[in-house]
């Protein structure tokens, strides 16, 4: 089952890249809002080695019909070879916020 509203997560190498990507998504009307969480620690496996980094996490608020364009924009602008893109269906929430998202993203 899919819902109309989506929350997409990605990470960026730093806050500057996160701000650039967030601004592009909002300017293109692909996201109503993007929250940036700076200084998020990450421990992960890359090319057979355990790596650590301090990244910026993005919480991208969008709609289902914008999702593929959000993916393409992330992939085109991102510095990572394999950027994180994870999607959560938004099942419920503040109707006034969803109405605002509809207005902004049309």
pTM: 0.94
What's the number of domains the chain is made of?
1
CATH, residue 92: 3.30.70.120
Name the residue range of residue 70's domain: 5-105
Do the strands 5-12 and 86-89 form a parallel or antiparallel pair, or are they unpaired? antiparallel
pLDDT in tens, 9-25: 999 999 999 999 999 99
Q: Identify the DSSP state of 28.
A: T
pLDDT in tens, the chain (106 residues): 457 999 999 999 999 999 999 999 999 999 999 999 999 999 999 999 999 999 999 999 999 999 999 999 999 999 999 999 999 999 999 999 999 999 999 8
pLDDT of 54 reads 98
Nearest to residue 44, comparing CAs of 3, 99, 81?
81
């Amino acid at each position: 089952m899919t819902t109309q509203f989506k929350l997409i997560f990605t990470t960026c190498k730093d806050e500057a890249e996160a701000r650039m990507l967030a601004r592009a998504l909002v300017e293109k009307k692909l996201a109503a809002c993007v929250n940036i969480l700076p200084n998020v620690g990450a421990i992960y496996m890359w090319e057979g080695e355990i790596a650590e980094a301090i990244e910026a996490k993005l919480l991208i608020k969008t709609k289902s019909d914008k999702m593929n364009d959000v993916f393409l924009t992330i992939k085109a602008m991102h510095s990572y070879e394999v950027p994180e893109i994870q999607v959560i269906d938004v099942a419920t929430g503040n109707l006034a916020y969803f109405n605002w998202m509809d207005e902004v993203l049309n």
